[in-house]
Chains A and B, each alone.
Chain A
Amino acid sequence: MPVSDFQPVIGLEVHAQLLTQSKIFCGCSTAFGAEPNLHTCPVCLGMPGVLPVLNQRVVEFAVLTGLALGCEVRSRSVWSRKNYFYPDLPKGYQITQYDLPICEHGRLTIDTPRGEKVIRVRRIHMEEDAGKNVHDASEGQSLVDLNRAGVPLLEIVSDPDLRDADEAVEYLKALRDVLVYLGVNDGNLEEGSFRCDANVSVMPRGSDTFGQRCELKNLNSFRFVKQAIEYEIARQVDVIESGGKVAQETRLWDTNKGVTRSMRSKEDAHDYRYFPEPDLPPLLVTTATIESMGQRLPELPRPKLQRFVQQYGLPAYDARTLTAERPLADFFDVCAAKYPDAKKLSNWFLGELLRLLKEEAMPVSALRFTPERLAELLTAVDAGTLSNNAGKDVLGEMFRTGKAPADIIAEKGLAQVSDTGAIEAVVDDILARNAGEVEKYRAGKKQVFGFFVGQVMRAMKGKGNPTLVNELLKKKLGD
């Protein structure tokens, strides 16, 4: 059977690092990039006798995420210990949630070529991150850095509802957008603050029995997610085609070779001996907490996109770009309230504004001017006070200095000259000084017109209103 005779089945497990100040069970900082073990204390070092105390914000973020994904939030959830030995796991167990997680039964809508599709979110739970083992820094040794040990994570597990690599990527992007919108995660795959494992299996089309699944790890970009899943689907089909059986295992995506390979080291003694964490009583979440989190729930990416299309009449492409980041969308909303032409506004955003931000690698939140100022600038362009090009220059200056557009226009004398008398004087002067060219024009060499425009504009340092310059030239040349 060819690959097309098989139906891939994919479920995703995402580990999202929460944007808290301190770790989940101790007061150590979660900041990235410190010297090894500088952000550690007896608790996250797993010293004898230490005990965990839960960070309140972690619970709030979990509830917020659960509500955003339409989950049921458990009023009573339970902490468990997952027992295994590894140098980056200082206590010899990870504190996580197992059979009674904080959130369950959610959903996330994605776009597919066949239209919208709802992917079920099976569960969301809180847990602590492990530290980091560094293998190549020292001869014959691995080095252990526990700065990340105890950093709070949300593990978000989908049902196996995804049917191909593109859907998986769509789901991940949509999920990342939601988390970033909520302000609970920075969405960074490369730095590992948004990590994804994929469970992949294949079954003959039409079957309702899932095949044996493999877990793929090390998928630290959307591109790798797509490549690894596609590779793995083909590999599993191959195994079955050649009469073999897919073995349940953990496989690592090899970025260099573009293949997945078996990770046997993770396989031995695969018995986590979960049991309820005796050091933490069950977590009780009150209705009041859930309600107050509900009130803090912002407009989510998908509804926002739909609103941008409907309210502003924008094309889907524009709306998607503008709503990709919440601060940009918020900026647009405020601008649009002051400036009526949404499409024109969108063009400025997609063209100039995003280009400037990208050049400086600057976030929207760091912009030095307010959305109201941008609206003022565009209004000035519309009124003819400023040419389109001069408008771009002013925006560049606003971007660099944060000055008000009116001030920049005044300072730099950028205001466009639309005074007919002033332009007429210049036109007359140019025509008088170029009698020869006028002769040629009148003799039928119409190309010379561009020369006159250029001369006039140069004389006016580019500030002449081009429409008026054209009109007056034609009039004086007798057209």
Chain B
Amino acid sequence: MALTLEQVRHVATLARLALTPEEEQRFATQLSAVLDAVAQLQSVDVETVEPTSHATLAASLLREDVARPSLPPEKSLANAPAKVGTSFAVPKIIE
């Protein structure tokens, strides 16, 4: 299945990637090849098959509702590229 440049751009927007024109071109080709390769799954009869999203025996683990100490702000914000006080800062959001 061939992915169009337009589809590549739409997916890049969804994924928040500012692809270069060369990348758009390359991904169109490469992703099309991968999609061709995975097209074989369309032939598998899965009519009565349940999907597996967890290959685990684990049942739902529950935590007691107890508040525990949070991180001190010098730790939670230590890696922040930009901050004001104890807030993370981003370019002004226009709604």
Contacts and interface: CB of A to CB of B under 8 A. Distances in A.
Interface string B49-90: 001011010111111111111110100110000101111111
Nearest to B95: A265
A278 B53 CA distance: 6
B30 interface: no
Contacts of B65: 20-22, 55-58
Interface in A447-473: none
A284 B90 contact: no
Given A141-B84, A284-B60, A21 B76 contact: no
A141 B92 contact: yes
B91 interface: yes
A35 interface: yes
B20 to A, nearest CB: 20
Interface SS majority for chain A: loop
Residue of A53, A141, A252, A282 contacting most chain B CB atoms (<10 Å): A141
Contacts of A263: 95
Nearest to A56: B62
Given A38-B73, A282-B54, A134 B87 contact: yes
Interface string A22-44: 10000111110001111111100
Nearest to A273: B14
B57 to A, nearest CB: 9
B70 A28 contact: yes
A283 B61 CA distance: 8
A269 interface: yes
Nearest to B87: A143
Nearest to B61: A53
Given A37-B76, A271-B14, A141 B89 contact: yes
Interface string B7-32: 00000011010000000000000000
A400 interface: no
A40 B59 contact: no
A37 B92 contact: no
Contact of A53 (B59, B63, B77): B63
Contacts of A144: 87-90
Given A27-B66, A29-B67, A269-B13, A35 B86 contact: yes
A145 B45 CA distance: 49
A87 B70 contact: no
B67 A37 contact: no
B94 interface: yes
B89 A143 contact: yes
Contact of A54 (B13, B62, B66, B94): B62
A298 interface: no
Contacts, number: 131
Interface in B25-50: none
What secondary structure prevails in chain B residues at the interface with A?
loop
Interface residues of A, number: 54
Given A54-B62, A282-B54, A29 B70 contact: yes
B91 A142 contact: yes
Contacts of B86: 35-38
A55 B60 CA distance: 11
B51 to A, nearest CB: 8
B85 A55 contact: no
B89 A54 contact: no
Given A87-B93, A135-B93, A142-B92, A40 B71 contact: yes
B89 A37 contact: no
A142 B90 contact: yes
A44 to B, nearest CB: 8
Interface in A242-284: 252, 263, 265, 268-269, 271, 273, 275-276, 278, 280-284
Contact of B67 (A22, A137, A268): A22
A27 B68 contact: yes
A269 B68 contact: no
A36 B53 contact: no
A195 to B, nearest CB: 17
Tell me which of A36, A42, A283 has the highest count of chain B C-beta atoms within 10 A of its own C-beta: A36
A33 to B, nearest CB: 14
Nearest to A28: B70
B92 A135 contact: yes
A133 interface: yes
A59 B48 CA distance: 31
A210 interface: no
A87 B89 CA distance: 9
Contacts of A57: 65
Nearest to A39: B70
Nearest to A53: B63
Contacts of B77: 37
Contacts of B71: 40-42, 45
Given A27-B68, A144-B90, A280 B60 contact: yes
22 contacts: A21-B67, A27-B63, A28-B70, A41-B68, A45-B76, A54-B62, A54-B63, A56-B65, A57-B65, A78-B53, A133-B93, A138-B89, A140-B92, A141-B89, A142-B92, A143-B88, A263-B95, A265-B94, A275-B53, A280-B60, A281-B54, A283-B60
Interface of B: 13-14, 16, 51, 53-54, 56, 58-71, 73, 76-77, 82, 84-95
